[in-house]
Amino acid sequence: MKMEAGFDKRKLWALPAERFNDWRRKNDYPIIYERISKFLPFFQEWQKDAGVTQELMFEFGIGRFLGSEDRLSVFHYHGGNRRAFLTDDSTILHLRDPRNTYKEDIYLPYFKWLRMEKGEERFEKVSREFRLKHYRGGKPVFNGDFFLLDLSVPELKGVSVSDKLLDFVCLDETHFDSIHNNTRIYIWYSTAKKLKVTGDLWHLSFYETQISDFDVNNTLVLNNGVFGGWEIDCEFLRLTIARGVFRDSRIRCSKLDYNFELSEVSDVGFSYVCLSGRSRWDEVRFNRKAKLLFSAQGDHFNAGQYFYREKVSQLKAHASPWSDLKLKHGRPRWSEALSYVLKSYFSLVYEFFAFVTWGFGERPGRSLLASIAVILVCAITFYCGADSVTSGKFADSLYFSMVTFVTLGYGDISQKVAIYKIFSAAEAFLGMVLMGLFLAGYASKSKQY
């Protein structure tokens, strides 16, 4: 969507939200709607099934009715206004009070409907294709079909962005300086490379928006403020925060990089997005990045959570060495392939044991459960074995198993047959290992990650 010749983008930004949105509804929304209705399969069928009209999409944003992960609720206020929220949002329960609103309409977004009605394969295919694909003449082209509305300005200071429709826009190299809002802002299906924000800013939502790429230095920069309630859902994210606080936010991406200067991070959740054709080791690196971030902040609890995720994703990577081998090396020599696969499977055995017995040190309670399981299995073995000295005596079998496991060795009961002697020794060895892991797991809670 190209701006009209001579049109001042700053004047458009300066407009009140209703006039800003009216401009979009008259100038670029009709073209966006026309193009996407032709490209997206079953679009009219979805509109009929979900009851979503063109007017409704123009009122609350075309992007929100396409990509929302949950149903959308449109609340009708007594004063005549309407607002849209995610149906399962726990913060909107008060809106269902008849004293606040008198009606709630619930709508199913397009991609959620597509997955439910047409299957996962169709959903994956369409969602992969429906995105910003390239630049033409320095301008971003969405889906190879239409230009995004260019709203990028070198410095935008002191304006209000509340209630403005900011889906399908280009904000590349824009500097938001002391802008303000009192509603969540949805920057969806857009591009915001080298976006810089100075001053407090809350409740921004990025979805299917190109913020960074890892080929060039495109970084989201946050300066001198408190930034909270953000939702960032993108493919790549390189984030720099200088003298700021980033909190109460959620980040979903497949590659993460960051640089924090005199800044604080708290209550931020990181989720890995698995893309087709990516190595499983990308998830390992992603969780390691999140772990190191919280460790540097002194948040050992969250550092431990992401350390656990890192080790679980590493376990999964070792479980599928062939797919990773093809991604890394194409067609390696058979000797190299065999060596790589054998190393992966040996690592898998060790890591699976660590996962089951103590959760890599982050779930020491598993050692206790594993200990109980070993004691019971050994007790049943001693009880059922015909040559066991406690054969047919469950209480004695359980007692002997317990004192053997904890290596007390009272000596009042001892096995006479060689196979049960070896079995008892193996149980005692397992007991030492599991008790050691149990104690080490709790002791490691204060470790540096």
88 vs 71: CA distance, rounded Å: 8
Residue 221, pLDDT above cutoff 60: yes
What residues does 105 pair with on adjacent strands? 74
Residue 1, pLDDT above cutoff 70: no
**Across 277-289, average pLDDT:** 90
In sequence order, the 6+-apart residues with CB closer than 8 A to the CB of 141 are: 132, 133, 134, 135, 147, 148
Residue 323, pLDDT above cutoff 80: no
Contact 164, 21 (CB under 8 A): yes
The gap between the terminal CA atoms of the chain, to the nearest Å, is 48
Q: Is 270 helix (H, G, I), strand (E, B) or coil?
A: strand
Task: Output b/e per residue, 362-395; b: 16+ Cβ within 10 A.
Answer: bbbebbeebbeebbeebbebbbebeebbbeeeee
273 vs 255: CA distance, rounded Å: 8
- What pLDDT digit, counting tens, does each position of 58-97 carry? 999 999 999 988 899 999 998 888 999 999 888 888 888 8
57 vs 65: CA distance, rounded Å: 6
Per DSSP, helices labelled H in 320-446 are 321-329, 334-358, 365-384, 394-405, 418-443
Using pLDDT thresholds of 50, 70 and 90, give the confidence band for residue 327: low
Contact 43, 158 (CB under 8 A): no
Q: C-alpha angle 130/165/174, rounded to 5°? A: 85
pTM reported for the whole predicted model: 0.85
- What pLDDT digit, counting tens, does each position of 408-436 carry? 877 788 888 999 999 999 999 999 999 88
**Across 285-309, average pLDDT:** 93
pLDDT number for residue 201: 95
- What pLDDT digit, counting tens, does each position of 132-184 carry? 878 888 888 888 778 899 999 999 999 999 999 999 999 999 999 999 899 99
Residue 3, pLDDT above cutoff 50: no
Q: C-alpha angle 407/446/301, rounded to 5°? A: 115
Contact 62, 36 (CB under 8 A): yes
